[in-house]
Amino acid sequence: MRLIMAGGGTGGHLFPGLAVAREFQRRDRRTEILFVGTEMGIEKRTLPKEGFPLATIPIRGLKGRGLRGLFQALYGIPVSFFRSLGIIARFRPDCVIGLGGYASGPLLLASRWKGVRSAIMEQNLRPGFTNRVLGWLVARIFTSFAESAAYFPRAKVVETGNPVRWQTLPQVAKGEKFTLLVFGGSAGARKINSSIVDALQRMRELSTQLRVIHQTGEADFAAIKAAYGSLPFEAQVFSFVERMDEAYARADLVVCRAGAGTVAELTAFGKAAILVPYPYAAYDHQRFHAQALQERGAAEMILDRELNGERLADRIR
């Protein structure tokens, strides 16, 4: 079987696709898989380490750009579509699966043009506009939440849950200290980074009982690493955690955003969490994810506009 996995940009889109790709190859080692993404997405640095080939197209988002950037993004749409046609012609896939992210749309449209069967993986509870439209063009729609079916042709929907990126969950030795895992997604989150440092300043009396694993993202790494130098806590600070499965396994409590991939991973590991939904996510989908876990007693939610060190310290205590 030959399979194209199209999309990425963020870990929330890419990692479920990686999980599915590995499972295809586990079941049949002859399966050939090509990922298609962009030069700027997380797939560019992640896929070579995972042993999967990557083709790229020049698609970009349209929002938040100046006039020049807008023209470049508009130019990239037809170029990406025709490049997608070429990728399909050369690779000759049996199926194209859209993972979400900018690269997903052109590949799915090209697969429809070429008569290749296709499907989408919808990680979010409330699908974005693009996937709602693409849902009418593909053969199957794999959803993470039962509520998502209301936005698609119901006969095409299969509720699968959101695949996590690890086939087995690691067994690690936990330390005596209560372990707090902090991250803001694969790119980090400045509001969470600054708030957790402020919270720890207010919790100095717990320094002998609490340790921290903190993924900051590249942009804030140097500043947050330096800030921990003035704190009495045992802390491991990384720009990016490669073995996130081991970090989850060691954690007693997680402070993080509420992307679909993160929510699935928290559920798989059975970890309690303080969720801070990203306020600018399309259709406010992270808030709905956080509410879903909060209603089930698995997490507490703090809205981004209400997040500060004092409130975070109170919740952690």
pLDDT single digits (tens) 184-204:
866 668 999 999 999 999 999
User: What is the CATH architecture assignment of 2-159?
Assistant: 3-Layer(aba) Sandwich (3.40)
Domains 2-159 and 178-316 are alike in CATH topology: yes
Residue of higher predicted confidence among 78 and 290: 290
Nearest to 187 by CA among 257, 245, 249: 257
pLDDT at 72 exceeding the cut of 70: no
Residue-wise pLDDT for 93-131, tens only, equals: 999 999 988 889 999 999 999 999 999 999 988 888 888
pLDDT at position 277, please?
95
Nearest to 274 by CA among 248, 288, 294, 249: 294
- pLDDT bin (cut points 50, 70, 90) of residue 76 is low
In 73-143 the beta strands, taken as DSSP E runs, fall at 95-100, 117-122, 140-143
Residue 159: phi and psi, rounded to 5, are -80, 115
Residue of higher predicted confidence among 69 and 310: 310
pLDDT at 291 exceeding the cut of 70: yes
pLDDT at 168 exceeding the cut of 80: no
pLDDT at position 67, please?
64
Residues 6+ apart with CB under 8 A from 301: 258, 274, 275, 276, 277, 287, 290, 291, 293, 294
pLDDT at position 200, please?
97
pLDDT at position 75, please?
60
Topology of domain 178-316, CATH: Rossmann fold (3.40.50)
d(CA 314, CA 317): 5
Sign of the alpha-carbon torsion through 87, 92, 96, 99: negative
Residue of higher predicted confidence among 76 and 52: 52
* DSSP states along 219-245: TTHHHHHHHHTTS-SEEEEESS-S-HH
Task: Give me the mean pLDDT over the 295-312 stretch.
Answer: 95
pTM summary value: 0.78
> Residue 117: is it exposed, middle or buried by C-beta count within 10 angstroms (0-12/13-18/19+)?
middle
Domain ranges of the chain: 2-159, 178-316
Residue-wise pLDDT for 253-285, tens only, equals: 999 999 888 999 999 899 999 999 999 887 898
Q: How confident is the prediction for the chain on average, in pLDDT?
A: 90
pLDDT at position 19, please?
92
Residue-wise pLDDT for 223-249, tens only, equals: 999 999 999 999 999 999 988 999 999
Residue 75: phi and psi, rounded to 5, are -60, -35
Nearest to 227 by CA among 250, 256, 195: 195
